[in-house]
Chain A
Amino acid sequence: MPLLEIKNLHVEVEDKKILNGLNLTVEKGQVAAIMGPNGSGKSTLSYVLAGKDNYTVTEGEILLDGESILEMAPDERAAKGVFLAFQYPVEVPGVATMTFLRTALNAQRKLRGEPEYSTPDFLKLVREKSGELGVSQEHLRRAVNVGFSGGEKKRNEILQMAILQPRLAVLDETDSGLDIDALKIVSDGVNRLRSPERSMIVITHYQRLLDYIVPDVVHVMAKGRVVRTGGKELALELEANGYAQYTDEAA
């Protein structure tokens, strides 16, 4: 059984149709890249997977391990292993990053019926993962993302992912706003998390990210659906020829 199966998904946001019969299958352990022009619905797909309000599914199904997640609240989806690395991570003033990480991890574990992490075990886990990503203790003490640079915010997303250990990670334009050094650090962080048990959807405009996070499969989205699927060489072809043929074709 595939980890994720999306069948004929139609989604509206404020009465505007964004996804229009999208089909997508992601196998266990697979890294799937989704590429496509602006406005093709890539970010909408990521929000719908995470369960954001105001995204109305009018038709179709999203199955995780064969089970529909459409009726689940975002926290329940997270406990099932869905993780969204935000394109624009929000600042949460007043909530220390450490408190946030710990609250999130233990909330998920509680929902899954697993024991909560003890303080020493949790600190050890955070030290290890933050060390790998070069996130300083100072950042962990500060309020979530407040005063962080774009790169630091993205790194913080990957740190959360490393600690929460999701089964389906959706990376929404994780490369945007990153310089080449930050891109390498973030990509290394993502690559360390690759495992036969974990699937990833990597959403990006540019082929560049896929030099670092090499996908197993590339899907092209246009006008709210997947219009082409291929191997990693498809990304190179898009880089060379652009998206014009897909937008015209779908129109």
Chain B
Amino acid sequence: MAEVAAIKTAAEQALTAAYEGARGRLPGTGTVAALRADAFKRFDAQGLPHRRVEEWKYTDLRKLMANAYPLAAAPDAAAKARAKSVATAFDTLDCRRLVFVDGVFVAELSDLSPEPGLTIGTMADALAKGDALVAGHVGKTFATEDVAVALNTALMGDGAVIKVAAGIELKRPIHLVFVAGDATPNACFIRSLIVVEDGAKAAIAESHEGGSAQVNCALELAIGDGAEVDYFKVTRTGGLHIASLLLTAGAKSRFDTFALTYDAALVRNQSFIRFAGEGAKGGMRGVNLQRGKEHVDNTLLIEHAAGHCDSREQFKAVLDDQSHSVFQGKIVVKPHAQTTDSKMMTRALLLSDEAEADNKPELEIFADDVVCGHGATAGALDPGLKFYLMSRGIDAQQAEALLIQAFIGETVEEVTHEGFRDALMTAAVQWLEGRAR
């Protein structure tokens, strides 16, 4: 009997070939290899996500991904040299830099000076050695059927493995810097794990800079009871970038995430967030600055699985030319998650008639004592405001820049870490100045 199989696209065939060709040398055996095989099976059955998959409706990967590049080789001296000169938005801050070139950790560009309570390793090592921390967490922080996450699991190469021990407050933020070193387009599958144990405090930043690579990165972030985490992600790349944040928050923990995306061709930031312990507070925010034909998608799935938790979500997009932004935010409140307080807001500022913003907030509430709300707006700059500023002597471009700055400033100002707040605003203002030129 003939089996009916969907016709595979060139990219899907290339991804299958990449997995088949690499499975023998990808790090990890035994349970890790089984995890990969299982994940690959999911991709093989479903293919790349497309517009009929609800979560990917506005970012049709099957259509947008014409081909899949070969897996990146380990960076050579020239690639490392190129990577060294790459500037990031957080260079002015005193951070511990951990540098990855083409998805591979480069020790000589990184700061591995010891700090009590902090353990740093690489995912490739941890997978190969069957590290207990990784075995205990990878694939378990937030179980999802998502195909992009499955592809990451099947092909994960390297990434950071970080543990902040219970009660430790990190002295400096950790800055994970991902840069493209290879001049020819390649693909990287980066998997990181960060475990912030009970009562610990950490600030973590992640920069993705430059290149035209196809990057699929996933970060599992496990936040212990009473721990506090600030997480910032800046994405600026000419390639295809899919990032999955898989986060679980313990009781009475506090976390804030912020994603700034600009000068980026095609980005999907998807966050899977679980409030696992009672009384946790979390903020998820982001700003996209887009022009040309850039496509940026921020998709959130927030699961309130425990009671008395607060979450705040605020995402803004500034859209010029024919750019396209997507925001999807789904808040799920489980039956026992009483007194959940969740507010989600998304706003798009359209600077051009041809720009497109798709905003889709969703609430799924199974508890009866909750405060949940969402809002979405899309509009142009208010001509009345612009005239008011101009009537005071401010020229048209500066008036627009001031109003756009105010629009995104409302979200950036929510960042409590002063250094990162300033650095994010500076990056945004530079983009605006570049626009005026």
Name B410's closest neighbour in chain A (CB-CB). A94
Which residues of B sit under 8 angstroms from A90, Cβ to Cβ? 382, 384-385, 388
Whether A92 contacts B393 by the Cβ 8 Å rule is: no
Restricting to B366-415, which residues have a CB under 8 Å from any CB of A? 382-385, 387-396, 398-399, 402-403, 405-407, 409-410
- Known contacts A73-B395, A104-B394, then 10 further A-B pairs from the complex at CB < 8 Å, ordered by chain A residue: A73-B390, A75-B392, A75-B396, A77-B391, A83-B392, A84-B391, A89-B388, A90-B385, A93-B410, A164-B392
Name A80's closest neighbour in chain B (CB-CB). B393
Which residues of A sit under 8 angstroms from B406, Cβ to Cβ? 92-95, 143
User: Is the contact region of chain B dominated by helix, strand, or loop, or is it mixed?
Assistant: helix
Which residues of A sit under 8 angstroms from B389, Cβ to Cβ? 92, 100, 104
Whether A92 contacts B385 by the Cβ 8 Å rule is: yes
Whether A51 contacts B410 by the Cβ 8 Å rule is: no
How many chain A residues sit at the interface, stated as a range, is: 20 to 34
**Taking A75-B393, A103-B394, A104-B393 as contacts, is the C-beta distance between A95 and B402 under 8 angstroms?**
yes
Whether B393 contacts A94 by the Cβ 8 Å rule is: no
Which residues of A sit under 8 angstroms from B410, Cβ to Cβ? 93-94
**CB-based A-B contact count at 8 angstroms:** 79
Whether B394 contacts A107 by the Cβ 8 Å rule is: yes
CB-CB contacts of A107-145 with B at 8 A, as 1s and 0s? Answer: 110010000000000000000000000000000000100
Whether B390 contacts A75 by the Cβ 8 Å rule is: yes
**Taking A94-B407, A95-B403, A103-B402 as contacts, is the C-beta distance between A78 and B385 under 8 angstroms?**
no
How many chain B residues sit at the interface, stated as a range, is: 20 to 34
A208 close to chain B: CB less than 8 A? no
**Taking A92-B388, A95-B402 as contacts, is the C-beta distance between A75 and B394 under 8 angstroms?**
yes
A52 close to chain B: CB less than 8 A? yes
Restricting to A192-241, which residues have a CB under 8 Å from any CB of B? none
Whether A111 contacts B393 by the Cβ 8 Å rule is: yes
- A21 to B394 CA separation, bound complex (whole angstroms): 31
Whether A107 contacts B388 by the Cβ 8 Å rule is: no
Give the shortest distance, in Å, between A103 (CB) and chain B (any CB).
Answer: 6
Which residues of A sit under 8 angstroms from B407, Cβ to Cβ? 94
Whether A107 contacts B403 by the Cβ 8 Å rule is: no
Whether B398 contacts A107 by the Cβ 8 Å rule is: yes
CB-CB contacts of A64-103 with B at 8 A, as 1s and 0s? Answer: 0000000001110111000110100110111100011001
Name A89's closest neighbour in chain B (CB-CB). B388
Closest 8 CB pairs of A and B: A94-B406, A108-B393, A78-B393, A104-B392, A74-B390, A107-B393, A75-B390, A75-B395
Name B398's closest neighbour in chain A (CB-CB). A107
9 A-B pairs with CB atoms under 8 Å apart are: A50-B391, A51-B390, A75-B391, A94-B406, A94-B410, A99-B402, A107-B392, A111-B395, A160-B392
Which residues of A sit under 8 angstroms from B403, Cβ to Cβ? 92, 94-95
A53 close to chain B: CB less than 8 A? yes
A105 close to chain B: CB less than 8 A? yes
Whether B395 contacts A105 by the Cβ 8 Å rule is: no
